[in-house]
Structure 1
Amino acid sequence: MKKIAVMVCLLFCGFCSHAIDTLTIHKNQSVLLTKRYFTQLEDIGGNMSIGDIQVSKQFHSTHFEFPFIRYADSALWVKMILRNKTIEPYLPVTISSGVIDGFDMYDVGTTTKHIIHLGSTDVQENSNNTKQISRVINCPVLPDSVCIIYLRIKSNDSMAIPIKVQSADFYLHNSIFENLTLGFFMGIIGIMIFYNLMLYVLVKDRSYLFYIFYIVFLGLTQAQIRGLGVNILPVNKLLLNNYLIPITRICFWYSILLFIHEFLQLKQNLPRKYYEYFIVLVVLSGLPVIAILFKQTTLAFSLITISAFINSIILLIIGVYLYFKGFKPAKFFMMGWGLFLLTILATIARNKGLIQYNDFTANIILYSSAFELIMFSVALADRINFYREQNNQAQATALAIARENERLITGQNFILENKVKERTQELIESNHNLSVTIENLKSAQIQLIDTEKMASLGQLTAGIAHEINNPINFVSANIKPLRMDFVEVFNLIELYQELEKNPGDIEIQKKAEAYAKEVDIDFIRAEILTLLEGIEEGAGRTTEIVQSLRTFSRTDEPVLKPMDINRSILTTLVLLRSTIPYGIEIKPLLDKLPLINCYPGKMNQVFVNLINNSIQAIKAKPVHNNEHVLITTKDSAENIIIEITDTGIGMTEEVKQHIFDPFYTTKDIGEGTGLGLSIVFGIIEKHKGTINVKSSPGQGTTFTVTLPKDLQ
């Protein structure tokens, strides 16, 4: 009896300032904590303790149906009286989905001196705490007993907080149902991701890729709202609630905007002035990121709510506009996404306490999302039919074109056959004429090359004739005095022969002695030897010239032979010696070189052309001073290098670009064919070598020839 009296007094004290009903829970029952069962107190700053709360006179009723958090960085205290009419010694108290930073329960029992702290700690009190912020707290209330409960709730998101008090058996069955519902939803999420990923791989349409992003962030958002994030991700709750959850929601809306932009082809279908509004939505959806960077989490959630509301309204308007414009995908958009956006608006209104909270409104996003996922998957699958129709139309068009072409071809076959015969005859004649032309061109080419060779030989002829004529004249000039010396010697010999026949003839003896004194035998002997040496020198010079001519004459030998490059250069200089004007010095600086395989005659022609060009370049200068041609040879690991440098007039860059072109010449008409350097280039190329030129106007010219040692 005494115990009942104490309970009556306690209940009277509880209602002395604000009368509230006792929340009685029966077996297999669940009751939402509405305003008839609680009073609330806003703890601005969140610094009040349970002791402060117990003596506070600031608890009041609210015009909201459910407890409502309105202020940032504050805690909401809720006071209620529970009666347990079940057979279990506890009642599960659950807090609805949302961003919950703290959920604590204090049981003051039947006396104010007996306080029990139940539930989780505030995540902001210990940022390193990785313990789950429990959304379910078992309140220990003995069967048929009453207790006073204080709830402390914290969240950076301004919203209504639906709280359920349930019987233990009802909570057990209901949690199984909710888990099955959420599992079914997540199963649909996984199936849709896989299904649309396969479609993206097959079709390569970016709509599927953006839709996959949307499905992923939709699943993450719903998982976070239902408190699954802390179970899956090993991160502290401060990081999860203040950063990961708002960023996930921002990404969720960006995935929506990207998908709708691609699916409805907004850039093509919306007028430019309306498309600019869509760009505004993109910018608006990114504003919460700034608040997150400045650690204004409450502001970030408010901006996300505002942008979600505006995005939903404008996207619905865009869908209606395109639907009435006749754009076919807008039909699926209005069926699926229209409902989804309406449920988003309903969810925002529910969170703000504007519409009633019940089991249907609590899971309306899940239901509409499942329907929307199915509808949009159908819509995206319809794109495959669209692509198939396009492919069939293209094939039908191609078949029609093929048949038309076949008809045209069949109708023109006879005409074409006749034309082919006529054209074939013309081609036969043209081919014959072309063959004749080619033969003429080959003959002309051979003649041009021979002409160049003859031109080179012609330039050498005068010098060679002069070179041969000098020793021959030298020999001829010595023959006459040599003959006279021999006549005198022969006459003296005849006198001695007569004296031998008549040894006692004093007159013949005197005559012989007198003649011997007259002709001076010693002088004749010395003169004969001198004349013979002169003849021998002339013959040697003639032999040298003939040998050089013989070497140079092997121009057309088609066989590779070992050759001494230095000797070839010296032979060329012998032949050109008489053509080199006085005042031009030839400076050969020849390194010791091994024999290399080459076409000797053709290499001789290269050296004749290059040296002769250098001499002509020097002769073309108006003023001469210390003119020379420097010829150097160098031995490297794989090549032999020949450099011919002159002090001539040089060349401009434009001339250098064309010097190896056939028939290109800077000489006057009649002075050159323009084939010399072209033939040189062809010979060097045939030897698999290179020829480079370095020249500047007035600075002379250097030709560098590189020949491989291993030519086979």
Structure 2
Amino acid sequence: MRSVVLSLLVLLCSLVQASDPPVVTIRPGQGMIQVGDKVEVLTDHTRSLSLEEVIGSPDFRASTSMVPNLGISDAAHWFRFRVENKANGTMHGLVVGNSEIPTIDAWVIHGEGRMEHHKVGQAVTIGSLAEPDVEPIVPINVDNGSQVLVYLRLESDKQLVVPVSIGAADDLRNYVAGRDLLIGCYIGFMVVLLLYNLFVFLSTRDRHYLIYVMYILLVSITQLVFMGYAKFRFWPESTWFAEQASVIFTVATAVAANEFMIAFIQARKFEPRLARGRAFIYALMAIGLGARLSQFPIEGYQLLQLLVMVSAGYQFIVAYRIARKGVRTAKYFLVAWCMFLAGIVLFVLKDIELLPYNDFTKYTMPIGTAFEGIMLSLALADRINTLRREKERSQAEALASSLENQRIVREQNMLLEVKVAERTHELQETNEHLKRTQTQLVNAEKMASLGQLTAGIAHEINNPINFITSNIQPLRRNIAEIVEVMQEYRTLTPDSAAAKLPELQVRERRMGIADSIEELQDIIGSIAEGSSRTAEIVRGLRNFSRLDEDDLKESDLHDGIRNTLALLAPHLRDKVQVRCDFQTLPLVECFPGKVNQVFMNVLTNAIQATMARTDGATPEVSITTAAVDDQVRISIRDNGIGMSDEVMAHMFDPFFTTKPVGEGTGLGLAIVYGIVQDHHGHITVDSIVGQGTTFHIHLPSRQHQSQARRA
């Protein structure tokens, strides 16, 4: 019943207002014609008017704009106009060239009261459209020579710009084909641009190219969203995302553009304060986007519109300031950004009718992005060329510097060789001097050691010599008496023997020749003993010094110890008890004179340490030997005063001594350490203050000839 009443009302209104709505005439071959200035517009602020109420409303006002711009509001807007068909065919099409309008309800009312209803827009899924297309298309079926009344109801919470065009079926097909061709060329161009820069990024690994690739991708998607292709191809059934996609991708593109600019023109380096300022814009964008997607869609949309313009101006200011500093990349970016802004300005001028609405002004925004992409690609290529030139120049400078450094190094090497030769000569001379000094110090220490033994040795030698000297006179007297008697016996003849023999015998008894002969044996024995003792002392001295031995020789260390003890006998007799515990030792390959000096220095220190005790303990020195693997060990222990840890830490240091001034050179143990090291051995010391000290001398039984050197 309601539909019948509505049809009658529509028929009545169409008869009453037959001359009121403007008429759009479709003629053959005229193409798609804009009808924005041929419609009447009604604004429904309550969004509650029904078609019946609108049909009878006297509030329609004629539009004066080729492309009506109804702004941003939550009102519903009605368009009304008549369509007259003077072309061939009955099927025609009405195109609303704005894919961002969420809801468009279209009613086509025929003269006999018949009515057709179509619903198009972003909020309508692709599958439910009568004419699926990227732009809203309303089919209009009108007989040749007839008229139909068209009502359009539009709702949008975005900027509502309504470019309405109408034409015959062939004109519509040509329009769609031409539009798709242009958009296809744009998409192909942007894909080539994206793939080229992606390839360059993979080749150079320059992060600027990666950021630029992301920027191109977002720009391309944003333009496809505005033109309706994104919904048509990517999310045909998601009406909510289709309505919000343009806002989301616009914000993402603005952020990507800022980040690319900051990195590409080095804003952090040249304008650090302005570079940090983008964070404030991002924060406001996040607030606007949140409002848009929640309970304040219009307020959020208006804030985002303002922020996008602020962001565009911000990028222009930053690029301009850095370009003035002579940065080449900033100049390229400024030109590219101006091309993009020019596209936006032309697009807006078209909407406010300062420029005509045509295929060029309709697509100035994607054209601007295409030119921007070309300029930025050229800028990136120029940047690579600049970097390559700088690298080549840097390499040339590095090569020149390297050659200069090589020349300097050669000169320095030559000078260094001369200096090294001079220094080597000086070091050789110094080394020879040190060797001579070392030898002199060793000999001096040895002579000092021998000097300490001089008095005792002199006494030891003087006793047998005095003994011999004192026996020379009695020997001479006895021999003279014996010779005298023998001479007289030799003068006897056979004739006189009988007479003189008794006289000679009496005289022989009177002179005590028998006693003289017996005494002569004793004197000779005493002289022989004194001579043997003297020879023994001399042999001990010679064996101790071994100055005639300059090569490694196999030596019996026990003989060396005995010879050393023989030389020290005057210091030991009736003063120090010496105990020897000699195990079987192999012959040791060494420098015997030097090893004897080791024994002399260590034993001398041991004797002096035992004599330094004041507690009445009997001085004792013990010497033990043993063979350990391929080494021999000589341990010399005394029960002297011992050494503290501090003294032990420095006892092998040259010129270190604890004796009073004038009583020691401080070289004895240093020479001992050096001789043992030169024999590839080692020496260890155990000492307790007040109890005594033990020196453990370890020597290898064989020396490697390649390592042996004069100690």
TM interval, short-chain normalised:
0.5 to 0.7
Note if contact 1:25-1:84 (Cα within 8 Å) is conserved in structure 2. yes
- Secondary structure, in 3 states, of the residue corresponding to 2:361? helix
Alignment of 1:225-236 (within 5 A): 225-234=226-235, 236=237
The verdict on how the C-alpha distance between 1:310 and 1:80 changes in structure 2, with shifts beyond 3 A counting, is same
Query: How far does residue 423 in structure 1 lie from its aligned partner after superposition?
Result: 5.8
**Letter of the 2:209 counterpart:** Y
| In 2: Cα distance, 1:432 partner to 1:297 partner | 99
Instruction: For residues 420-465 of structure 1, give each alpha carbon's deviation from its aligned partner in whole angstroms, at most 9, with x where no partner exists.
Output: 4456668889999999xxxxxxxxxxxxxxxxxxxxxxxxxxxxxx
Query: How far does residue 180 in structure 1 lie from its aligned partner after superposition?
Result: 1.5
In structure 1, what is the equivalent of residue 498 of structure 2?
none
The verdict on how the C-alpha distance between 1:121 and 1:259 changes in structure 2, with shifts beyond 3 A counting, is closer
In structure 2, what is the equivalent of residue 373 of structure 1?
373
Note if contact 2:26-2:87 (Cα within 8 Å) is conserved in structure 1. no
| In 1: Cα distance, 2:137 partner to 2:152 partner | 12
| In 1: Cα distance, 2:197 partner to 2:34 partner | 40
Alignment of 1:448-487 (within 5 A): none
**Letter of the 1:268 counterpart:** K
Query: How far does residue 384 in structure 1 lie from its aligned partner after superposition?
Result: 0.8
The verdict on how the C-alpha distance between 1:218 and 1:427 changes in structure 2, with shifts beyond 3 A counting, is farther
Note if contact 2:42-2:61 (Cα within 8 Å) is conserved in structure 1. yes
Query: How far does residue 119 in structure 1 lie from its aligned partner after superposition?
Result: 4.4
The verdict on how the C-alpha distance between 1:23 and 1:372 changes in structure 2, with shifts beyond 3 A counting, is same
**Letter of the 2:229 counterpart:** L
In structure 1, what is the equivalent of residue 149 of structure 2?
148
| In 1: Cα distance, 2:692 partner to 2:163 partner | 107
1:269 maps onto 2:270 in alignment: yes
Query: How far does residue 128 in structure 1 lie from its aligned partner after superposition?
Result: 12
Query: How far does residue 135 in structure 1 lie from its aligned partner after superposition?
Result: 1.4
| In 2: Cα distance, 1:285 partner to 1:182 partner | 29
Query: How far does residue 248 in structure 1 lie from its aligned partner after superposition?
Result: 1.3
In structure 1, what is the equivalent of residue 251 of structure 2?
250
Of 7, 14, 26, which aligns to 2:28? 26
| In 1: Cα distance, 2:106 partner to 2:226 partner | 21
Extract unaligned runs of 5+ from structure 2: 1-9, 436-628, 630-683, 694-711
The verdict on how the C-alpha distance between 1:418 and 1:23 changes in structure 2, with shifts beyond 3 A counting, is same
In structure 1, what is the equivalent of residue 107 of structure 2?
106
Query: How far does residue 285 in structure 1 lie from its aligned partner after superposition?
Result: 3.2
**Letter of the 2:44 counterpart:** D
Note if contact 1:30-1:167 (Cα within 8 Å) is conserved in structure 2. yes
- Secondary structure, in 3 states, of the residue corresponding to 2:228? coil
The verdict on how the C-alpha distance between 1:54 and 1:421 changes in structure 2, with shifts beyond 3 A counting, is same
**Letter of the 2:22 counterpart:** I
The verdict on how the C-alpha distance between 1:432 and 1:367 changes in structure 2, with shifts beyond 3 A counting, is farther
In structure 1, what is the equivalent of residue 312 of structure 2?
312
- Secondary structure, in 3 states, of the residue corresponding to 1:108? strand
- Secondary structure, in 3 states, of the residue corresponding to 1:151? strand
In structure 2, what is the equivalent of residue 388 of structure 1?
388
- TM-score (normalizing by structure 2): 0.55
Instruction: For residues 27-71 of structure 1, give each alpha carbon's deviation from its aligned partner in whole angstroms, at most 9, with x where no partner exists.
Output: 242211222x10012233533333332222222124544333445
The verdict on how the C-alpha distance between 1:210 and 1:414 changes in structure 2, with shifts beyond 3 A counting, is closer
**Letter of the 2:138 counterpart:** I
Query: How far does residue 348 in structure 1 lie from its aligned partner after superposition?
Result: 3.8
1:196 maps onto 2:197 in alignment: yes
- Secondary structure, in 3 states, of the residue corresponding to 1:150? strand
1:171 maps onto 2:176 in alignment: no
Note if contact 2:186-2:370 (Cα within 8 Å) is conserved in structure 1. yes
- Secondary structure, in 3 states, of the residue corresponding to 1:117? strand
- TM-score (normalizing by structure 1): 0.55
Of 5, 17, 23, which aligns to 1:13? 17
In structure 1, what is the equivalent of residue 97 of structure 2?
96
The verdict on how the C-alpha distance between 1:127 and 1:333 changes in structure 2, with shifts beyond 3 A counting, is closer
| In 2: Cα distance, 1:392 partner to 1:48 partner | 74
Instruction: For residues 635-660 of structure 1, give each alpha carbon's deviation from its aligned partner in whole angstroms, at most 9, with x where no partner exists.
Output: xxxxxxxxxxxxxxxxxxxxxxxxxx
| In 1: Cα distance, 2:394 partner to 2:117 partner | 74
**Letter of the 2:151 counterpart:** Y
1:358 maps onto 2:358 in alignment: yes
| In 2: Cα distance, 1:11 partner to 1:431 partner | 133
| In 1: Cα distance, 2:433 partner to 2:16 partner | 128
| In 2: Cα distance, 1:70 partner to 1:128 partner | 30
**Letter of the 1:38 counterpart:** V
Query: How far does residue 385 in structure 1 lie from its aligned partner after superposition?
Result: 0.8
The verdict on how the C-alpha distance between 1:122 and 1:419 changes in structure 2, with shifts beyond 3 A counting, is closer
Query: How far does residue 327 in structure 1 lie from its aligned partner after superposition?
Result: 2.0
In structure 1, what is the equivalent of residue 504 of structure 2?
none
| In 2: Cα distance, 1:252 partner to 1:373 partner | 13
In structure 1, what is the equivalent of residue 600 of structure 2?
none
- Secondary structure, in 3 states, of the residue corresponding to 1:159? coil
Note if contact 1:192-1:373 (Cα within 8 Å) is conserved in structure 2. yes
Query: How far does residue 286 in structure 1 lie from its aligned partner after superposition?
Result: 2.9
Query: How far does residue 243 in structure 1 lie from its aligned partner after superposition?
Result: 3.2
In structure 2, what is the equivalent of residue 504 of structure 1?
none
**Letter of the 1:340 counterpart:** F
- Secondary structure, in 3 states, of the residue corresponding to 2:225? helix
In structure 1, what is the equivalent of residue 261 of structure 2?
260
| In 1: Cα distance, 2:252 partner to 2:408 partner | 59
The verdict on how the C-alpha distance between 1:292 and 1:71 changes in structure 2, with shifts beyond 3 A counting, is closer
Instruction: Tell which structure's C-alpha radius of gyration is larger.
Output: 2
The verdict on how the C-alpha distance between 1:433 and 1:138 changes in structure 2, with shifts beyond 3 A counting, is farther
Query: How far does residue 138 in structure 1 lie from its aligned partner after superposition?
Result: 2.0
In structure 1, what is the equivalent of residue 331 of structure 2?
331
In structure 1, what is the equivalent of residue 625 of structure 2?
none
Note if contact 1:312-1:342 (Cα within 8 Å) is conserved in structure 2. no
In structure 2, what is the equivalent of residue 690 of structure 1?
none
Query: How far does residue 361 in structure 1 lie from its aligned partner after superposition?
Result: 1.3
- State the percentage of identical aligned residues: 25
Note if contact 2:126-2:236 (Cα within 8 Å) is conserved in structure 1. no
| In 2: Cα distance, 1:325 partner to 1:54 partner | 64
**Letter of the 1:265 counterpart:** Q
| In 1: Cα distance, 2:341 partner to 2:434 partner | 79
Query: How far does residue 7 in structure 1 lie from its aligned partner after superposition?
Result: 12
| In 2: Cα distance, 1:251 partner to 1:58 partner | 42
Instruction: For residues 182-233 of structure 1, give each alpha carbon's deviation from its aligned partner in whole angstroms, at most 9, with x where no partner exists.
Output: 1111112212222222222333333222211211111111111111222223
Note if contact 1:95-1:161 (Cα within 8 Å) is conserved in structure 2. yes
The verdict on how the C-alpha distance between 1:258 and 1:318 changes in structure 2, with shifts beyond 3 A counting, is same
**Letter of the 1:335 counterpart:** V
| In 1: Cα distance, 2:688 partner to 2:35 partner | 114
Note if contact 2:126-2:237 (Cα within 8 Å) is conserved in structure 1. yes
The verdict on how the C-alpha distance between 1:168 and 1:64 changes in structure 2, with shifts beyond 3 A counting, is same
The verdict on how the C-alpha distance between 1:400 and 1:8 changes in structure 2, with shifts beyond 3 A counting, is same
Extract unaligned runs of 5+ from structure 1: 1-5, 436-600, 602-662, 674-712
Query: How far does residue 250 in structure 1 lie from its aligned partner after superposition?
Result: 0.9
**Letter of the 2:234 counterpart:** L
Note if contact 2:93-2:138 (Cα within 8 Å) is conserved in structure 1. yes
| In 1: Cα distance, 2:30 partner to 2:692 partner | 119
| In 2: Cα distance, 1:86 partner to 1:426 partner | 118
The verdict on how the C-alpha distance between 1:668 and 1:30 changes in structure 2, with shifts beyond 3 A counting, is farther
The verdict on how the C-alpha distance between 1:671 and 1:66 changes in structure 2, with shifts beyond 3 A counting, is farther
**Letter of the 2:39 counterpart:** F
| In 2: Cα distance, 1:129 partner to 1:8 partner | 32
Alignment of 1:568-647 (within 5 A): none
**Letter of the 1:105 counterpart:** A
In structure 2, what is the equivalent of residue 290 of structure 1?
290
The verdict on how the C-alpha distance between 1:199 and 1:358 changes in structure 2, with shifts beyond 3 A counting, is same
| In 2: Cα distance, 1:228 partner to 1:431 partner | 93
- Secondary structure, in 3 states, of the residue corresponding to 2:213? helix
The verdict on how the C-alpha distance between 1:408 and 1:88 changes in structure 2, with shifts beyond 3 A counting, is same
- Secondary structure, in 3 states, of the residue corresponding to 1:137? strand
| In 2: Cα distance, 1:430 partner to 1:118 partner | 113
**Letter of the 1:214 counterpart:** Y
In structure 2, what is the equivalent of residue 48 of structure 1?
49
In structure 2, what is the equivalent of residue 223 of structure 1?
224
| In 1: Cα distance, 2:355 partner to 2:287 partner | 28
